[in-house]
Amino acid sequence: DIQMTQSPFSLSASVGDRVTITCRARQGISDYLAWYQRKPGEVPTLLIYAASTLQSGVPSRFSGSGSGTHFTLTISSLQPEDAATYYCQKYNSAPLTFGGGTKVEIK
Amino acid sequence: EVQLLESGGGLVQPGGSLRLSCAASGFTFTRYDMSWVRQAPGKRLEWVSAISGSDSGDSTYYADSVKGRFIISRDNSMSTLFLQMNSLRAEDTAVYYCAKGFSYTLGLLLPFDYWGQGTLVTVSS
């Protein structure tokens, strides 16, 4: 099974900052990579699929890039409501493995 | 409005069985892949199992950790997803979520655009 590794484990940034989260796959998964946001007490929300396609309704400050084994999620200008844990997920084939999550805090 | 409502969780002894249900509404249930995802305390999200939409023949998929012990199924007439869990172990303790694939035209095993609120399964003696 392909493991998904996210970094950093957590980060703290100020409102307006540019934030980048990395997700690495142990083997190539083309662009079969999704990103989710999970706020405390809530279920995950799909942000991005196909590595870079924004899900309907997601603010344009979120963007994704990458292919193969290296992927990034970028928040171009961090907002207070972006405080959450972010997860990547591969879906090229079963199992649909999640990364360990990156907790984003607002300074 | 899409709604997913899980039920069936509870306390069960090691080696026991439990059947989870997920009642779906607000979309054409039969068309979409559906999955179960769990999260144990302090652990990452873990995909457990998926079943394809009926146009793809209700194919089933399992994580290695549950293969041979869990069975996923769906009743399209009732818009309900099931997870039969047998030979339960302490490490199966988690909140179990059902989740809906976000498209029925872009392939199988897609990411999830809707999640239920989860049902807690505790395996303990």
pLDDT tens digits, one per residue of B31-43: 999 999 999 999 9
Is A95 in Cβ contact with B45 (below 8 Å)? no
B50 contact residues in A (CB cutoff 8 A): 94, 96
Average model confidence (pLDDT) for chain A?
Answer: 96
Is B35 in Cβ contact with A46 (below 8 Å)? no
B96 contact residues in A (CB cutoff 8 A): none
* pLDDT exceeds cutoff 80 at B56: no
pLDDT in tens, B80-113: 999 999 999 999 999 999 999 998 888 888 999 9
Please tell me if residue B27 touches chain A, with a CB cutoff of 8 Å: no
CB contact at 8 A, B9 and B75:
no
Of B47, B117, B118, the CB nearest to A98: B47
What pLDDT, on the 0 to 100 scale, is given for residue B104? Answer: 84
